[in-house]
Structure 1
Amino acid sequence: MRKKALIFTAVFGIIFLAVLLFSASIFKSAMAQKEEGHETAAAAAKEKTNLTDAEKVETFVGKQKYYVVSGTDKQGKDMYVWVPADKKAKILSKKASDGISSGKAAKIVQDAGLVSKLNDVHLARENDVLLWEVTYINKNGQYSFSYVDFTSGKILKNITP
């Protein structure tokens, strides 16, 4: 009886280890895809704009795919650069002081009475319109998005998929 239990435990342990390693491999592959293009986007942002130090790169996928590079210029001022994945589209950049902050964008959406629980705020872009994408759980418990104009602070679109 003990021999059967030992064999069962060994087989179960091997299967568990194999599943764990396979899952780790899938996770690593998924994370590599998420960050794919970030180094190229940061280099393009430095080359085509006044950005000198790229501190963070995020991917935004809307109608088109963009990389949003956050960093500083030569004077140490915070700035953002929207780099399109499509090399034919133009790169846009703004000083952080030219628009509203992420906190202000979140407050605008909250003040509109849409938010039950705030999730996150990221920079976004649709064509040449620079945005803050505010994600949240709405009053009905649904995952929702609001797009707030980066410059004016006006809510341009609310989406509940």
Structure 2
Amino acid sequence: MRKAWKITIIAGAAAVVIVTGLSMTFNFIMDKEWTEQRAAVLTAYEKTILAKAVKVERFVAEKPYTVITGEDKIGQPVYVWVGQDEIHTEMGSAGIDAAQAEAKVKVAHPEAKVLRTTPGIRSGQLVWEVFYKLQPEDKMEQHFYDYYAFKDGQLIDTLRLTIQ
């Protein structure tokens, strides 16, 4: 009976050490990204009408941007793109929202499974990037990026990811 308790205590201590180590490693790896996101949100609070940040994402195309989805002082949706040397702000009412961009994919491909929708800037134009997958009959699963104009939702481009 004593031997079983010793083994249980040692296994429990080992599990705590492993979980703590993994948690510290994760925090160490993510610290730079979280620091950049916090700095971008603070910049947006200082230099734009953003009053409340709801979601912070990274968008990388020609240049990397931190995209903040949030609200102004009266609760209106606001999008802020913070780049290395630029900030761009748009009211949510100035364009389509994520749900509308996803709906455009679903109209074109009803069987598509949307994995992520992110506002971004691509080729100097405000866009919605919709990442989705399709599995045509008897074929491998395929992944796509559709880019829609932020202002009016017009399809700009579709990129298909291939395995090669």
Contact 2:68 2:79 in 1 (8 A): yes
Say yes or no: does 1:116 pair with 2:112: yes
Partners of 1:110 and 1:8 lie apart in 2 by 55
- Among 118, 122, 128, the alignment partner of 1:126 is 122
Q: Is contact 2:132-2:145 (8 Å) kept? A: yes
1:4 CA displacement: 7.4
Distance in 1 of aligned mates of 2:45 and 2:111:
36
**Cα distance in 2 for residues equivalent to 1:14 and 1:152:** 57
Deviation at 1:154, TM superposition (A): 1.6
CA distance 1:48–1:92, change in 2 (3 Å): same
1:45 alignment partner AA: A
| 1:35-79 deviations in Å (ceiling 9; x for gaps) | 222222122223333x14032322222332111122233454221
Q: What is the CA–CA distance in structure 1 between the aligned matches of 2:15 and 2:126, rounded to whole Å?
A: 47
Q: 1:60 is matched by which residue type in structure 2?
A: F
Number of paired residues? 156
Q: Percent identity?
A: 27
Task: Measure the CA separation in 1 of the matches of 2:122 and 2:129.
Answer: 11
Letter in 1 for 2:39: T
Distance 2:123 2:73 in 1: 27
5+ residue gaps in structure 1? none
1:92 to 81, 88, 92: 88
**What code does the residue aligned with 1:38 have?**
Q
Flag structure 2 segments of 5+ consecutive residues without an equivalent: none
Structure 2 residue 131 is the aligned partner of structure 1 residue 135: yes
Secondary structure in 2 aligned to 1:37? helix
TM-score by length of 2: 0.77
1:156 aligns with 2:152: no
Q: CA deviation at 1:16?
A: 3.6
Amino acid of the residue matched to residue 154 of structure 1? Q
Candidates 97, 103, 107, aligned match of 1:101? 97
Could you tell me the TM-score, scaled by structure 1's length?
0.78
Tell me the CA shift for residue 15 of structure 1: 4.0
Contact 1:145 1:159 in 2 (8 A): yes
Q: Secondary structure at the match of 2:129?
A: strand
Contact 2:127–2:149, Cα closer than 8 Å, also in 1:
yes
| Cα distance between partner residues in 2 of 1:15 and 1:28 | 20
